[in-house]
Amino acid sequence: MVSVILPTREWTDACADLADQVGPDDELLVVCDHASDPVAERSTPANTDVLIAGDPEGCSGKCNAVATGLAAATDDVIVCTDDDFDHGPGWLDHVVAGVEEHGAVTSVPMFASEGLFGQFLEGPSHLLHLPVFLLGAELWGGTACFHRDEVDVPALVADLRRTVSDDVLMGEHIDAVHGDLSLAREITVEGSVRSSLHRSVRFTRNMLFTDPLALVAMFLVVALVAVGTVLVPLLTGVITTAVVGAAYAVAGFDRWTFLLAWPGFLLLGACLAYGVVQPEFEWGGRRYRWTGQFSVDVLD
């Protein structure tokens, strides 16, 4: 039996796909913020319930929604996912099979930006994330699947209600995670300067609070590319582009943006620095101030 937790304010294609895939003994828990959200006013299929999380206090709206779903989930296998990518036929069966074989499963998000600013960041971000996910050192909240008896769910719920990142927190509560590349999905994001900077703040402060050495390593990679650009620009450009292109190929990420990887690394350095000094960001229609892993203010 499987509990699927899907935070969303609207009934999306992901809701319909997962409602079709849950079995008679499973449950799909669609979690929204308010009773006035469009999804709360919609009639739902069998085995699908809509939960009202309410406004977050001391945590992000996403963490609040996931915590609400986890607190209500009743089945042995728990699948946390997002509404912004294609789940497709058989997605849930594939995930559950992976959980039965490995104990916990995640995959790699492949962010595809609509705006040029975000497109410059695609290649460096993908290259730096790919090995981390494949080694099970990081978990993606869009595909986070585990057995209930292998996780202290009440403790996870309590911690979710006082932080921003569901991904990082679930990774801390789950001992061993298998990264399944066949579950990798492309996710369209806005990619404007504004949205990319807000995403960078969230990403950078995640590492600053939970894995500062990884953040230092990213700055070192950026510095290496910068030095190479000054000393041997042609070689640096060729190597950077080739390595990122290979990472795209490994994940099946069919995008031309690997060609922007060389200048993208330099831009990434600026975004990381901005994230270190800027504690405020916007996400999902709310503005937050994040000053410690468990120190979150919801500003509006």
**Mean pLDDT of the region 191-204:** 96
Determine the pLDDT at residue 129. 85
76-116 confidence digits (pLDDT tens): 999 999 999 999 999 999 999 999 998 899 988 999 999 99
pTM: 0.94
Q: How far is residue 13's CA from residue 245's CA, in Å, rounded to a whole number? A: 31
- Spell out a b/e string for 83-117, using b for 16 or more CB atoms within 10 Å of the CB, else e: bbbebeeebbebbbebbeebbbbbbbbbbbbeeeb
Picking from 197, 191, 192, 207, the residue whose alpha carbon sits closest to that of residue 122 is: 191
Domains and CATH numbers, the chain: 1-102+140-176 (3.90.550.10)
159-172 confidence digits (pLDDT tens): 999 999 999 899 99
Q: Report the percent of the chain where pLDDT is more than 70.
A: 99
Tokens 């080694």 found at: 135
Within 10 angstroms of residue 25's Cβ, the number of other Cβ atoms is 9
Q: Is the pLDDT of residue 260 over 80?
A: yes
54-71 confidence digits (pLDDT tens): 999 999 999 999 999 999
Q: How far is residue 78's CA from residue 69's CA, in Å, rounded to a whole number? A: 10
Check if the beta carbon of residue 136 is closer than 8 Å to that of residue 129: no
DSSP-assigned letters across all residues of 179-214: E-GGG-EEEEE---HHHHHHHHHHHHHHHHHH-HHH
Q: Report the percent of the chain where pLDDT is more than 90.
A: 86
Determine the pLDDT at residue 61. 97
Q: Is the pLDDT of residue 199 over 90?
A: yes
Q: How far is residue 239's CA from residue 21's CA, in Å, rounded to a whole number? A: 43
Check if the beta carbon of residue 119 is closer than 8 Å to that of residue 113: yes
pLDDT band at 300 (very low <50, low <70, confident <90, very high): confident
110-156 confidence digits (pLDDT tens): 999 999 999 999 999 999 888 877 776 678 999 999 999 999 999 99
13-48 confidence digits (pLDDT tens): 999 999 999 999 999 999 999 999 999 988 889 899
Q: How far is residue 82's CA from residue 26's CA, in Å, rounded to a whole number? A: 18
Determine the pLDDT at residue 175. 83
pLDDT band at 201 (very low <50, low <70, confident <90, very high): very high
